[in-house]
C-alpha cells in the first residue's frame, strides 16, 4: 500500500550522499514529458545523465536509465535486493516505491552521473524522491485533481504538496497554464522557505534567440499547446542544470536540432502505434491505434482536444477518405478502456466520450511491485461510460488482455474511425508487454511464429464472432459471457466429428448460394445489355426507314437511354447515387434489383467497413480486381460482390 513520508526512505539512504545535480519535476500532468524532453536535450553531450521516472512501462528497471539506456536487470536486482534485505533486517517496512527510489539513486551514484532527471512519484512533500538535497532546479508541471485521498480535494491543497519539492536558494519554474490560485500557493511557500528565484519561460533573450527562429516555429507547430509548454519548461531546466553543474550550456540555435535529431515518441503519451498481430500490416484496416496513458479528467480533456480538434480531423481531411469531409465533431472513436480502482471514472469518461462513440472495457493485470493497484471491473466501467454519455455503444470484455480488446475493437470500428487505448499507464504497459517480440512488420510471415500465429488467429475468430453477435442486434449480454470458443473448438470426442460434418455441409450450401448469386448477377447484366442493344438497333432501324421523329423526341429518347444505361451499369450520378431516378417507370425486375442491392448494401456495408468479414491472411470475396465484373462501375463493384446477408443469415445461425 501507499505510505507517504520520508522516514523510511531516510533510513534506507542514511549513509548515501548525492554528488550529482538533480532536475526535480513534480506535477499532475506533463511531468513525464518534461523529464523526457530534458533527458533528450542532455543525452550525447559530454556529461553523464540519469533518468528516473515512474510508473514503469514494462519492467521495474525500465524507469531507471543511464545515458538513455535502461539499467541492466541483473545489476538492478542486486541493488534492489540489498535494500529489500535491509528493510526486513532493520524492520524499516519500506514500500516498494521507496525501495525502487533508493535503488535508482544508488545506481546513479555508482554510474558517476553529472545530472539526474527525477520525476516525483505522487505529490511532492512526502514523496520518496523528496529525500534529494542536491536540486539544480525544481520544476512544477500542470496541477490537477488526482490522488485526492492523499493530497487533498482542492487544487490549493494539492499545490501545497507539489510545492514541497522547492528548496532554499534553488531556482524553480512553474507551468504558466496553472490556475492563478495554484501560482499563489507555490509562490507563498517559496517565500516562506527562501526558494528562488522563480524563472519564466518567456524572456526577451529566449524570444530573440530561440522563439524567433524558423526551426522553432516549425517544431512548435507540430505540438499541442501543452506540449510546447512542457518543452519550454524542459529547456529552462536543462539550461539551469548545466549552469549549476558547471557544464557548458546548450546553445539556443541548436535546441531544435537536438530535439528533432533525437526525439523519440514517449511511450504511452499520444503514441501512434502499429499492432501487427491485430492489423497484420500498416496498410490494413485501422493501420495504427493511438495509445495514451491519460488517467484523470484533466489529461482526458487534453486527449479529447488532441483527438477531435486537430490531429485527428486533419489526418482524414488530408487523406480525403472517399472524398468526404470529416464531421464537425470528428469521426466517432472506438475507445479501449481500463482504469484503476478509485479513479473518478465518470468525470474522466465525460471528458472524452462523444455521441456515436464505441466503448470496449477490459482490465489490466497485476502491477509488478504495486500489489495494491487494482483494475476496475469492466462491467462497472461500461455502465459508468453509458451513464456519462448518451448515444454510445459498447460491451465489456469477458476476458482480460489489451491485445484481445484491440482485436475486438478492430471489428467494431469503421474505416473512417480511430481506435484509442487509454485509461491507465498500467494498461498501456500491458499492451507493450503483450507485444514484446511480436510487433514486427513481418510477424505474419515468420515461420517460427506459427504456433503464436495460431493463437492469435483463434483470438481473431472469437472476437470477430463476438462483434458480429453484437452488431446483429441480438439480445445477448456479452459482458456476462465467459465461453468465447467456437462451436467446433468447444466440441469434443464424437461430437467434434458431427459438428465438423454439419459445418462442412452448411459451408457447401453457403458457397452454392454465392455461386447462384454471382451467376444471377451476370445473367441480369447480360439481359440488361441485350435489352439496351435491342433498343439501340430498333432506333437505328427506325432512322434508316425514315420514320418521322421530331428533334425534340430524338433528344428525349437519347436522354432516356443515357439514364437507363447509367442505372443498369450502376454508374453513380453527380450525387453519388448508384441508382439514379429515371423518367421511365422502372420495371418490376429493376425495382426488385434495387431492393436487393439496398438490403445488401445498408446493413452489410457497415459491417464490412468495420472489418467483420476479414481476418489476417484472408481476402474478402470480390476484393481482387480479377474477381470484379468488368461491366460494373468500380464504386458499385463491392456492393454486387458482397455476401447477401438475407440469404446467408439462416445458415450462419445454424453454424453458431
Note whether 307 and 330 are same-domain residues: yes
| Angle (nearest 5°) at CA 580 between 318 and 562 | 110
pLDDT of 632 strictly over 90: no
* Residue range(s) defining the domain that contains residue 591: 561-656
Residue 424 is assigned to a structural domain of this protein: yes
Q: Are residues 494 and 463 in the same domain?
A: no
Residue 227 CB contacts under 8 Å (≥ 6 apart), including other chains = 33
pLDDT value at residue 190 = 94
**Max intra-chain CA distance, the chain:** 116
- Sign of the alpha-carbon dihedral angle for 629, 630, 632, 633: positive
**173 DSSP β-pair partners:** 139, 199
Query: How far is the C-alpha of 565 from the C-alpha of 569, rounded, in Å?
Result: 6
Query: What does residue 552 show for φ and ψ, rounded to 5 degrees?
Result: -65, -40
398 and 506 co-located in one domain: no
Q: How many other CB atoms are there within 10 angstroms of residue 422's CB atom?
A: 25
- Please give the grid coordinates belonging to residue 249: 550550456
Q: Which of 222-226, 242-246, 609-613, 620-624 has the highest mean pLDDT?
A: 242-246
Whether residue 219 is found in the same domain as residue 292: no
Rounded-to-integer distance, Cα 376 and Cα 362, Å: 8
* Structural domain contains residue 109: yes
Q: What is the pLDDT of residues 274-292, one digit of tens each?
A: 888 887 654 454 468 899 9
Of 142, 409, 421, nearest to 271 (Cα)?
421
Identify whether 197 is preceded by a cis peptide bond (ω within 30 of 0).
Answer: yes
**Whether the predicted pLDDT of 649 surpasses 70:** no
| Alpha carbon distance 393, 270 (integer Å) | 24
What is the domain count for the chain?
4
Same domain for 315 and 355, yes or no, is: yes
**pLDDT-based confidence at residue 205 (cuts at 50, 70, 90):** confident
Spatial distance between the Cα atoms of 365 and 104, rounded to a whole number of angstroms = 25
Compare 120 and 574 and report the one with higher pLDDT: 120
Does pLDDT of 405 surpass 70?
yes
CA–CA gap between residue 491 and residue 501 (Å, rounded): 12
Residue 535 lies in a domain: no
**Would you state the pLDDT for residue 58?**
86
Of 498, 495, 494, which Cα lies nearest the Cα of 506?
A: 498
Do 234 and 128 have their domain in common?
A: yes
Question: CATH number for the domain including 141?
Answer: 3.40.1190.10
Contact of 331 with 290, CB cutoff 8 Å: no
* pLDDT tens, position by position, 544-559: 555 444 444 444 444 4
pLDDT at residue 46 is higher than 70: yes
H or E element in which residue 599 lies: helix 588-609
Q: Is residue 311 part of a domain?
A: yes
Q: DSSP readout, 244-302? A: HTT-PPPPHHHHHHHHHHH--PPTTSSEEE--HHHHSSTTSTT--EEE----SHHHHHH
- CA dist 349 and 96 (Å) reads 30
Pick from 481, 507, 526: which residue ends a domain? 481
Do 308 and 183 lie in one domain? The reply is no
Q: What angle do CA 395, 398, 401 make, to 5 degrees?
A: 100
Specify whether 142 is located in the same domain as 288.
Answer: no
Residue 617: burial class (beta carbons within 10 Å; 0-12, 13-18, 19+): exposed
The residue among 232, 262, 292 that closes a domain is 262
Same domain, 513 and 565: no
Using alpha carbons, select from 40, 155, 162, 56 the residue that is nearest to residue 100: 56
The pLDDT value recorded for residue 116 is 95
CA torsion 344-345-347-350 (nearest 10°) is 180
Handedness of CA 43, 47, 53, 58 (dihedral sign): positive
Read off the pLDDT of each residue in 149-167 and give the average, rounded to a whole number. Answer: 87
Same domain, 450 and 489: no
> Which residues in 183-236 belong to E strands, given as ranges?
198-199
Determine the Cα–Cα distance for residues 211 and 232; give it in Å rounded to an integer: 10
638 in any annotated domain: yes
CATH number at residue 380: 3.90.190.20
Neighbouring CB atoms inside 10 A of 558's CB total: 11
Q: Are residues 568 and 646 in the same domain?
A: yes
Model confidence band, residue 524 (pLDDT cutoffs 50, 70, 90): low
pLDDT higher at 261 or 420: 420
> Distance between CA atoms of 60 and 392, rounded to whole angstroms?
37
Asked, for residue 15, whether it belongs to a domain, the answer is yes
Q: For the chain, give the percent of residues with pLDDT over 90.
A: 28
Ranges 200-209, 280-289, 293-302, 406-415: which has the least confidence:
280-289
Is 548 within a domain? no
Contact 643, 514 (CB under 8 A): yes
Each residue's pLDDT tens digit, 412-466: 887 778 899 999 989 999 999 888 878 777 777 777 778 888 888 888 888 888 8
Residue at a domain's end among 237, 262, 287: 262
* 511 lies in some domain: yes
Contact between 216 and 253 (Cβ < 8 Å): no
| One domain for residues 295 and 320 | yes
Q: What's the whole-model pTM score?
A: 0.66
State pLDDT tens for residues 376-403: 999 999 999 999 988 899 999 988 889 9
Amino acid at each position: 500500500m501507499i505510505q507517504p513520508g520520508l522516514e523510511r526512505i531516510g533510513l534506507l539512504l542514511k549513509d548515501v550522499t548525492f554528488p550529482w545535480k538533480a532536475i526535480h519535476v513534480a506535477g499532475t500532468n506533463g511531468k513525464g514529458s518534461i523529464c523526457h524532453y530534458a533527458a533528450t536535450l542532455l543525452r550525447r553531450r559530454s556529461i553523464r545523465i540519469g533518468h528516473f521516472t515512474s510508473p514503469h512501462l514494462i519492467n521495474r528497471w525500465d524507469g531507471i536509465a543511464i545515458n538513455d539506456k535502461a539499467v541492466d536487470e541483473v545489476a538492478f536486482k542486486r541493488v534492489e535486493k540489498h535494500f529489500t534485505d535491509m528493510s526486513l533486517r532493520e524492520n524499516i517496512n519500506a514500500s516498494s516505491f521507496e525501495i525502487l527510489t533508493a535503488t535508482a539513486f544508488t545506481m546513479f551514484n555508482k554510474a558517476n552521473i553529472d545530472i539526474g532527471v527525477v520525476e516525483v512519484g505522487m505529490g511532492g512533500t512526502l514523496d520518496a524522491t523528496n529525500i534529494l538535497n542536491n536540486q539544480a532546479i525544481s520544476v512544477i508541471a500542470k496541477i490537477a485533481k488526482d490522488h485526492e485521498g492523499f493530497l487533498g480535494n482542492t487544487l490549493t491543497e494539492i499545490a501545497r504538496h507539489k510545492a514541497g519539492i522547492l528548496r532554499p536558494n534553488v531556482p524553480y519554474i512553474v507551468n504558466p497554464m496553472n490556475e492563478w490560485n495554484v501560482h499563489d500557493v507555490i509562490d507563498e511557500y517559496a517565500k516562506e522557505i527562501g526558494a528562488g528565484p522563480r524563472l519564466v519561460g518567456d524572456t526577451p533573450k529566449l524570444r530573440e534567440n530561440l522563439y524567433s527562429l524558423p526551426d522553432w516555429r516549425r517544431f512548435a507547430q507540430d505540438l499541442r499547446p501543452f506540449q510546447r509548454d512542457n518543452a519550454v519548461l524542459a529547456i529552462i531546466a536543462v539550461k539551469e542544470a548545466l549552469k549549476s553543474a558547471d557544464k557548458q550550456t546548450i546553445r539556443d540555435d541548436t535546441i531544435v536540432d537536438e530535439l528533432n535529431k533525437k526525439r523519440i515518441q514517449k511511450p504511452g503519451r499520444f503514441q501512434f502505434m502499429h499492432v501487427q498481430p491485430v492489423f497484420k500490416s500498416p496498410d490494413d484496416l485501422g493501420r495504427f491505434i493511438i495509445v495514451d496513458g491519460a488517467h484523470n479528467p484533466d489529461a482526458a480533456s487534453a486527449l479529447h482536444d488532441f483527438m477531435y480538434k486537430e490531429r485527428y480531423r486533419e489526418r482524414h481531411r488530408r487523406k480525403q477518405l472517399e472524398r468526404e469531409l470529416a464531421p464537425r465533431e470528428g469521426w466517432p472513436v472506438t475507445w479501449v478502456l481500463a482504469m484503476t480502482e478509485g479513479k473518478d471514472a465518470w468525470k474522466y469518461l465525460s471528458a472524452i466520450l462523444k455521441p456515436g462513440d464505441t466503448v470496449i472495457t477490459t482490465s489490466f493485470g497485476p502491477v509488478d511491485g504495486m500489489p495494491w493497484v487494482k483494475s476496475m471491473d469492466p462491467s462497472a466501467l461500461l455502465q459508468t461510460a453509458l451513464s456519462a454519455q448518451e448515444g454510445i455503444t459498447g460491451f465489456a470484455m469477458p476476458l482480460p488482455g489489451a491485445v484481445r480488446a484491440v482485436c475486438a475493437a478492430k471489428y467494431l470500428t469503421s474505416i473512417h474511425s480511430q481506435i484509442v487505448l487509454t485509461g491507465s499507464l498500467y494498461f498501456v504497459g500491458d499492451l507493450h508487454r503483450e507485444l514484446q517480440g511480436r510487433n514486427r512488420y513481418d510477424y505474419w510471415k515468420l515461420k517460427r511464429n506459427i504456433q503464436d500465429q495460431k493463437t492469435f488467429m483463434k483470438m481473431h475468430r472469437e472476437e470477430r464472432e463476438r462483434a458480429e453477435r453484437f452488431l446483429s442486434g441480438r439480445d445477448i449480454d456479452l459482458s456476462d459471457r465467459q465461453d468465447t470458443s467456437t462451436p467446433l473448438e468447444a466440441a469434443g470426442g464424437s461430437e467434434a466429428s458431427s459438428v465438423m460434418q454439419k459445418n462442412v455441409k452448411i459451408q457447401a450450401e453457403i458457397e452454392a448460394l454465392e455461386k447462384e448469386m454471382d451467376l444471377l448477377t451476370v445473367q441480369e447484366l447480360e439481359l440488361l445489355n441485350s435489352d439496351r442493344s435491342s433498343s439501340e438497333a430498333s432506333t437505328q432501324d427506325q432512322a434508316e426507314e425514315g420514320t418521322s421523329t421530331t428533334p425534340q423526341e430524338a433528344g428525349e429518347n437519347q436522354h432516356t437511354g443515357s439514364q437507363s444505361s447509367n442505372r443498369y451499369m450502376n454508374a453513380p450520378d453527380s450525387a453519388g447515387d448508384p441508382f439514379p431516378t429515371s423518367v421511365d417507370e422502372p420495371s418490376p425486375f429493376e425495382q426488385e434489383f434495387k431492393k436487393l442491392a439496398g438490403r445488401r448494401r445498408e446493413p452489410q456495408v457497415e459491417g464490412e467497413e468495420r472489418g467483420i468479414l476479414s481476418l489476417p491472411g484472408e481476402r474478402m470475396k470480390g476484393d481482387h480486381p480479377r474477381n470484379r465484373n468488368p461491366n460494373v462501375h468500380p464504386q458499385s463493384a463491392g456492393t454486387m460482390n458482397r455476401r447477401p446477408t438475407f440469404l446467408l443469415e439462416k445458415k450462419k445461425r445454424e453454424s453458431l
